[in-house]
Each structure stands twice: as C-alpha cells, then as structure tokens.
C-alpha cells in the first residue's frame, strides 16, 4: 500500500510533461497561420491540440489546452483583420473549439470516475481472494511450499481455481481443484469446498472418507433438506493428497484433475492415477469407491500441483503448453525459484495473457521435519 501513491505520481508527472506537445502545436499553428498568405487558414488545425490531450491528461489538462486553443484562434482572427475583429469563419471555429473542448472534458470526467470504480473493484476482488484463497504458508511441517494464482481476467483477480493445506497429527493434507464454470458462482463453489476441506481435513479419517465428505459438500447449497435430485448441477475437479511427515508414500485421490508431477534431478515424472474418480459433486450419480493411489516423494524432490489452466494454455498457433517437456532439465531446488521460472515460461508461451485461470503449487520435502 505505501508504494501506491508513488506509483500514481509517475503517470501524473509524465502527463504534465506531455502537455508540452499540444501547447507546442498551438504555438506552431498560430505562428504559421500568421505568416501564411491571407487565403490560407490553419486555425481549424487547433482542434487537434485538445483532441490528443486525453491520451495523457485529465479533465483539467484538457480544459486548459482547449482554452489555449480558443485564445489562439481568437488571436489569429484579430491579427488577420484588426478592423473586423472576428469574421464569421473565425467565430464558427471558436464555437467548434468550445464544443469539442467541453465534450472532451466531460469524457475525461466520466473516464476518471469509471477508472476509480474499476480500481475499487480490483481492490475488493484482491481482498476477497486473500480471504477465500490465501497464499499457502512458506513452510508446512517438513515441507517448503510456493503457491501462485494467475487469473485470466485482469479486472478481477479471483476465479474458480482453488488450493488449501491442513496439518494432521502425522502429516499434511492438500487439495488443488478447479470449479466448473466462471464468475461469482465459481467463486462461491470454491469457497464452499475450501471451507469443507478446512473443517474436515484435520480429522482422523481416511483419505477416501475425506473425499466422500468433500463430494457431498459441493451440493450443499443446491439441495433442500432430504432432497437428493439436484446432484450433478455443479462439479469440481480436484486432487487430494496426504503427505506424511516422516517419509513413506504420498497418498492421493484424483477426481478428474490433472496428475501431479514429481521433479527429481531435473527429470519430471507424472503421477498418473490407476483408479481415477469422477469430479467432486458427481459422486451421487456415479457411486464411486474412492481408491487411494500412492507414490514416492523423497527429500530434495519437488512436487508440482496445478490446474488445467496451465496445461491447456495455448500459444499463438494453438499449441498447448507442454508442461513436463518444458520443465525437463530444470535444476532449481527452491520452490519459489522453480515457480517463478514456471510462471515466466508459461506467460511467455501464451504471449503474456492466459485464457483460463491457473493455480500452481510447488512443494519440497526437507530432510527432517521442522517444529
């Protein structure tokens, strides 16, 4: 927050410096018109000065330039024919400058009001995201963690991708998911699932029991008491992990979500599930039995969790981002450094703008658990 005023001062200073352009244009047109033959009238070109000012100035700047243009046009008319003062042509050009200047000032006022509203919306959306989806702690037990959320909509930094972590008596449970759809409905569904996960994940229940509970929670706000007929109206792909503190296999239930990747010595290995489950919210329709898969995650390894906004990101030719191929050979062992490189590489692939929200988590297991 302290940096915001300074960030705003730089554009204001730049805009004031650029005011020299329309002022120089007014002076140049006035001088050339005065030196030109009597049959050549350049006063109409003065309208260009207030017309370009909104590109870098606000209503006060536009009003000032418009007033200078009117004064210049009046001076041109008086100097050309001191006895007649202002011809009908000069009067028409002055009226045109006044009308154009007034319209441009009104435009700038409306633009600034809308910019303030947009800035407030961005501020509220960022605050809401931090409440619904706060960044994961840098350290969770023996795990070092880096997390990142990239929203496709620049105007609202919040969407339907989600992640969370909870400590248990023997390890850490994590969830990463992606809500069907977009907008505030997706945000509401994500908040509902995250709340259910934070309530239940620390309890002494198996991973399968936890996923069953989460599957039912997706439809809590869709059903009346005793009603079961509205399942399937929304669903969330998710991967739920149980990472033990003292070594051992990581347990995983994948519900229609992209598989995690373990990076070991620069070589990525995709942890495909042998028993895939349907997305959360469809369990009542599919009646699944949640099978738990497992894989090795050793000290020094990096575990990458992500949403389909990463793997389905396209470049200008429509080619998907080849995640495993791109990270092959990366030797960064620090989660923050690895995630920063992944972010830059992903945005370079898509040309700087994602078409879908993307969430990424990079986890490193340290050699010994931390207190």
pLDDT tens for each residue of 44-91:
889 999 999 999 889 999 999 999 999 998 888 888 776 666 778 878
For range 347-358, the mean pLDDT: 88
Q: Is the pLDDT score of 110 beyond 80?
A: yes
Which residues, including other chains, have CB under 8 Å from residue 314's CB and lie 6 or more apart?
Answer: 320, 321, 350, 355
Between CA 183 and CA 125 the distance in angstroms is 12
pLDDT value of residue 119: 82
Residue 254 predicted with pLDDT over 90: yes
Q: Of the ranges 112-126, 183-197, 264-278, which is most confident?
A: 264-278
Nearest residue to 145 (alpha-carbon basis) of 369, 364, 370: 364
| pTM of the full structure | 0.69
Sorted by sequence, the CB contacts under 8 Å of residue 343 that are 6+ apart come out as 148, 150, 360
Q: What is the pLDDT of residue 83?
A: 62
| pLDDT score at 78 | 81
Mean pLDDT of 137-162: 80
The pLDDT score that the predictor gives to residue 28 is 92
230-239: pLDDT as tens digits: 444 678 999 9
% the chain with pLDDT above 70? 84
Q: Beta strands of the chain (E only): which ranges?
A: 139-140, 143-150, 161-167, 171-179, 236-244, 249-255, 261-264, 267-270, 293-296, 302-306, 358-365
């Amino acid at each position: 927050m302290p940096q915001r005023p300074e960030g705003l001062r730089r554009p204001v200073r730049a805009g004031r410096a650029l005011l020299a352009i329309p002022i120089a244009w007014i002076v140049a047109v006035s001088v050339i018109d005065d030196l030109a033959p009597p049959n050549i009238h350049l006063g109409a070109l003065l309208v260009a000065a207030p017309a370009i000012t909104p590109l870098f100035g606000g209503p006060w700047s536009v009003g000032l330039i418009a007033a200078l243009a009117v004064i210049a046009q009046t001076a041109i008319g008086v100097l050309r024919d001191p006895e007649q003062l202002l011809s009908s042509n000069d009067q028409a050009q002055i009226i045109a400058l006044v009308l154009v200047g007034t319209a441009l000032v009104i435009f700038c006022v409306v633009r600034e009001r809308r910019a303030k509203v947009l800035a407030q919306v961005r501020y509220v959306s960022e605050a809401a995201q931090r409440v619904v989806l706060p960044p994961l702690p840098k350290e969770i037990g023996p795990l070092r963690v880096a997390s990142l959320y990239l929203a496709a909509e620049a105007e609202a930094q919040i969407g339907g991708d989600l992640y969370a972590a909870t400590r248990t008596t023997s390890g850490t449970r994590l969830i990463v998911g992606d809500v069907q759809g977009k907008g505030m409905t997706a945000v509401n569904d994500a908040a509902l699932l995250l709340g259910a996960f934070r309530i239940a994940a620390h309890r002494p229940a198996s991973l399968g029991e936890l996923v069953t509970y989460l599957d039912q929670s997706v439809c809590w706000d869709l059903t009346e008491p005793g009603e079961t007929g509205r399942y399937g109206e929304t669903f969330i792909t998710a991967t739920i992990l149980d990472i033990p503190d003292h070594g051992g296999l990581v347990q995983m239930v994948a519900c229609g979500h992209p598989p995690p990747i373990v990076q070991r010595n620069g070589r990525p290995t995709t942890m495909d599930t042998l028993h895939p489950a349907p997305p959360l919210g469809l369990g009542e329709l599919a009646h699944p039995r949640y099978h738990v898969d497992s894989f090795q995650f050793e000290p020094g390894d990096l575990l990458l969790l992500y949403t389909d906004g990463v793997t389905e990101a396209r470049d200008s030719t429509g080619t998907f981002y080849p995640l495993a191929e791109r990270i092959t050979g990366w030797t960064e062992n620090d989660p923050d450094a690895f995630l920063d490189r992944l972010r830059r590489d992903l945005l370079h692939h898509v040309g700087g703008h994602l078409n879908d929200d993307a969430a990424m988590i990079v986890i490193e297991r340290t050699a010994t658990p931390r207190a």
